[in-house]
């Protein structure tokens, strides 16, 4: 039976208070935080829309007591470094944070015709606690001037750029060209960022010069509908509350292939890079992700390429954002199917780009199809399952379709790259001389450079 759930935070630095006025909700799904750092989830019962502080306390001890004790111990065992700053056992500054040499960060939101979602996103970005911030919205092939008007009238401090070529990765590459910061952080228009999100990302880059990419925790913004609950049970976007550092082990000529499944590293709704990285490994592949027939995989392919080229990626759960999940079942089913399409399109792209890895990628693709789809489908026939079998079938069918989508998307991307475009002053797209020849792009797969946008950079809102 579906139970509506209230999503909120519990900060342990402050005294616990009774939760009141939550009528209409059956449970609470809360992130437990200590001095802003997220430690884990706690689930609380509600009676007549309330939950007492004593019940909250017992639930935290039972569900997160071990994690909390570990965190308190780590923050007690501090040492001082030669620079006079205090550090915890993981080497992250905990005092005199103002002495951190904060890099300038560009936050890019790539959007298309969703001004309502974008409004909440921009409101949260405007509350970010960071001293060197550059906010940028990339409006991808808009069909109306609504986004341009929104920024001009309500968010004049946010830079606006129109990228006329349709596709999320075209927009991401445009952000690379337009970014003013040495760090480029991406989020989506259906995300509400935590006020400390950028600071947590930037701290990793500032204290670990070898790190080239950082991802963070993506938590649900709300759990108001059954579809949103199902998405979390299906796996969601969360990658846990433990920091992880990823770098391939290539000692003794060993072939480390742990990065073939890059979904464990994070998601495109919460990722950041040193901008200099893209000059080394190229930009995002415009034949992948939303706006193409692949419907995804652009973030996964970039995570893979970062590690494949010998760089370091860190998952930092303190960099928290909240994602607004699809509210109805039809949208959820389409999303799950697109996960399958995008993942196998990414595998095909990677096999084409790295011939020496084709056997390993094919073997993993078969194993994943069995483990992720076929096996779960068989198990769902014999025992109760936490989500409908229909979702497993949707992802399975999407995975099979994804095997043929990348070559098609690559031909389309090549045709778009040859299209001359201009943007009118109100943000609308005017396309001329469209060429739709079905030929492969000549851009090397392993170095998908961010191409010129074909329009002049715009750092102001349209008049």
pLDDT tens digit sequence for 83-97: 434 344 343 444 446
Window from 62-66, 98-102, 110-114 with minimum mean pLDDT? 98-102
> What pLDDT sits at residue 96?
47
Residue with more model confidence, 1 or 391: 391
pTM of the model: 0.88
Q: Is the pLDDT of residue 461 over 70?
A: no
Assign 254 a pLDDT band (cuts: 50, 70, 90): low
* Domains, in order of start, for the chain: 5-77 (no CATH), 97-447 (3.90.550.10)
Is residue 428 within 8 Å of 145, Cβ to Cβ? yes
Q: Is the pLDDT of residue 460 over 60?
A: no
> What pLDDT sits at residue 455?
37
Question: DSSP letter string over 187-218?
Answer: EETTEEE-TTHHHHHHHHHHH-TTEEEEEEEE
Strand partners, 79: 87
> What pLDDT sits at residue 91?
37
> What pLDDT sits at residue 49?
95
The set of residues, in sequence order, having a beta carbon less than 8 Å from that of 447 and lying 6+ positions away, is 281, 282
Question: DSSP letter string over 220-236?
Answer: ES-B-SHHHHHHHHHT-
Angle, vertex CA 160, rays to CA 186 and CA 283, nearest 5 = 40
């Amino acid at each position: 039976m579906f139970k509506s759930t209230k999503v909120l935070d519990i900060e342990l630095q402050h005294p616990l208070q009774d939760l009141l006025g939550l009528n209409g909700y059956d449970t609470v799904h809360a992130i437990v935080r200590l001095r802003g750092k997220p430690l884990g989830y706690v689930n609380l019962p509600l009676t007549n829309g309330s939950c007492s502080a004593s019940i909250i306390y017992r639930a935290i001890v039972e569900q997160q007591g071990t994690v909390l004790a570990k965190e308190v111990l780590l923050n007690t065992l501090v040492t001082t470094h030669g620079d006079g700053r205090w550090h915890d056992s993981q080497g992250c500054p905990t005092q005199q944070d103002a002495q951190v040499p904060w890099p300038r960060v560009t936050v890019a939101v790539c959007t298309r015709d969703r001004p309502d979602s974008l409004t909440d996103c921009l409101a949260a970005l405007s509350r970010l606690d960071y001293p060197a911030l550059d906010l940028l919205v990339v409006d991808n092939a808009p069909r109306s001037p609504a986004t341009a008007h929104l920024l001009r009238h309500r968010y004049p401090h946010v830079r606006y750029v129109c990228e006329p070529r349709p596709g999320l990765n075209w927009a991401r590459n445009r952000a690379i060209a337009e970014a003013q910061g040495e760090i480029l952080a991406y989020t989506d228009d259906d995300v509400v960022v935590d006020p400390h999100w950028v600071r947590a990302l930037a701290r990793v880059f500032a204290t670990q010069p070898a790190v080239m990419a950082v991802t963070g925790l993506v938590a649900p913004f709300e759990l108001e509908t059954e579809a949103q609950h199902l998405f979390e049970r299906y796996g969601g976007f969360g990658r846990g509350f433990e920091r992880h550092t990823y770098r391939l082990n290539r000692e003794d000529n060993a072939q480390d292939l742990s990065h073939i499944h890059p979904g464990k590293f994070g998601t495109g709704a919460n990722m950041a890079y040193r901008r200099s990285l893209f000059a080394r490994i190229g930009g995002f592949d415009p034949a992948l992700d939303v706006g193409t027939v692949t419907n995804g995989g652009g973030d996964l392919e970039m995570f893979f390429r970062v590690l494949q080229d010998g760089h370091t990626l860190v998952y930092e759960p303190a960099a928290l954002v909240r994602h607004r999940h699809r509210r109805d079942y039809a949208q959820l089913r389409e999303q799950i199917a697109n996960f399958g399409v995008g993942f196998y399109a990414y595998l095909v792209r990677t096999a084409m780009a790295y011939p020496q890895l084709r056997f390993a990628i094919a073997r993993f693709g078969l194993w994943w199809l069995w483990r992720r789809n076929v096996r779960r489908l068989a198990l769902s026939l014999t025992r109760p399952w936490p989500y409908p079998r229909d979702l497993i079938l949707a992802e399975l069918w999407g995975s099979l379709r994804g095997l043929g989508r990348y070559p098609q998307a690559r031909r389309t991307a090549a045709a778009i790259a040859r299209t001359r475009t201009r943007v009118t002053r109100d943000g609308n797209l005017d396309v001329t001389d469209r060429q739709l020849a079905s030929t492969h792009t000549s851009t090397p797969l392993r170095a998908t450079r961010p191409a010129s946008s074909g329009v002049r950079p715009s750092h102001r809102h349209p008049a």
